[in-house]
Structure 1
C-alpha cells in the first residue's frame, strides 16, 4: 500500500470514529433512539477506533490535567480579596444625586411626590455606597451623619404629604452633601 493511501485510510477511520461518537452522544443525550440500549455497529466501530486513538488522547489529556493542576496550585497562594465597591460606586451614586440639583417642586401643589421620592432614594443609595466604600464610613462621617439624621426624621413614611412636610430637610441634606463632596473631589472624579 502506498503512503497516501494509508494516510487516506487513517483519515477515513478517524472521520468514522468521530461520526460514531457524535451519534452515540446524541442518542445518549436525547434518551436513546432506535434500538435503545442495544449497541449498534457504528457504536462498536467507534469504540474500536477510540481504543486505537486512545493512547494519544490519554497522553494529551494528562498534559492538560497537569497544566490545570499547576495553575490551580499557583493561584492557591494568591490572596483572594473581594473587590470593594470603591469610589466608583460612590461616584456613581453621587452623580445621580447631583442630577436632582436643578429640580424642585412646590410643596402643596401636588408636584412633589416624584421629586422628593427621587431625592430621598438617591440619598439612601449614596448612604449605602459610602458605608460600603473601601475608605470606610469614617471617611464619610459628616454626610453619613446628615443622612442618618434625615432618615431618622423621615422614618419609614414615604408618602407625598410626609415628604412635603420635611421638604427643607430633604433638600437641605442633598445640598449639604453636594457641598461636602465638592470639597472631596477624589471621591467622585
Structure 2
C-alpha cells in the first residue's frame, strides 16, 4: 500500500469517526438537551403536502425560547437609526426591520416583570400602529405608513430615554 493510499484511508476513517460522533444518539446529550441543535432531527412534511409530519424518533421537545429583555430589543430598535430608505431594496428591509423590532419590543414589554402597565405609553403607540397598518404587512403598505412606523419608533425612543432603568 502506498503512503498516499494510507493517508487517504486515514482521512476517510477520521471523517467517518467525526460524522458518526455528530449523528444523533438515543442517550441524553452532555448538556442535558439544552444544545441549540437538540431536537433538530424532527421530520417535517413536504411543502404543499397534506400528509402530516412523520413522528419524531425523539420524544423530547426543545424548551420554548425565553422572551428577550426590553433593553436588548430596544438596543436593536435604536440600531435602526443607522439605516433608512436609501434604495428601494434597502427601504423594504428597513421598514420591515422597524416593524419587526417594534413587535419584539411589544412582546418584551408585555412579559417584563414590571408588567405592561409600566409600558402603557409605548404599548399604546405600537397598538395604534397595528391599527393603522391593519393586517397588511406588504412593502407597499409599510411604505405608505413609513412616517407612522418611524414616528412610533421615535416616540418610543423618547419615552425610553426618560426611563433609563428600563434599558441599562
Superposition TM-score tier, normalisation by shorter sequence: 0.5 to 0.7
Aligned-pair distance for 1:102?
2.1
- Unaligned runs of 5+ residues in structure 2 are 1-65
* Displacement over 6 Å in runs of 4+: none
| Pair member with larger Rg | 1
| Correspondence for 1:152 | 131
In the alignment, structure 1 residue 140 sits paired with structure 2 residue 114: no
- Unaligned runs of 5+ residues in structure 1 are 1-83
Higher helix share: 1
TM-score by length of 2: 0.58
If asked which structure has higher relative contact order (CA below 8 Å, sep 6+), I would say: 1
| Correspondence for 1:176 | 155
Residue 92 of structure 1: SS of its match in structure 2?
Answer: helix
| Correspondence for 1:130 | 109
Aligned-pair distance for 1:98?
0.7
1:120-148 per-position Cα deviation (integer Å, ceiling 9, x unaligned): 00000000000000101110010000000
Q: Residues of 1 paired with 2:113 and 2:83: CA distance?
A: 31
| Correspondence for 2:73 | 93
Number of residue pairs aligned between Structure 1 and Structure 2: 103
Residue 81 of structure 2: SS of its match in structure 1?
Answer: coil
CA contact (8 A) 1:113 1:159 kept: no
User: What is the root-mean-square deviation of aligned Cα atoms in Å?
Assistant: 1.8
Q: Residues of 1 paired with 2:74 and 2:114: CA distance?
A: 16
Aligned-pair distance for 1:103?
1.4
Residue 140 of structure 1: SS of its match in structure 2?
Answer: helix
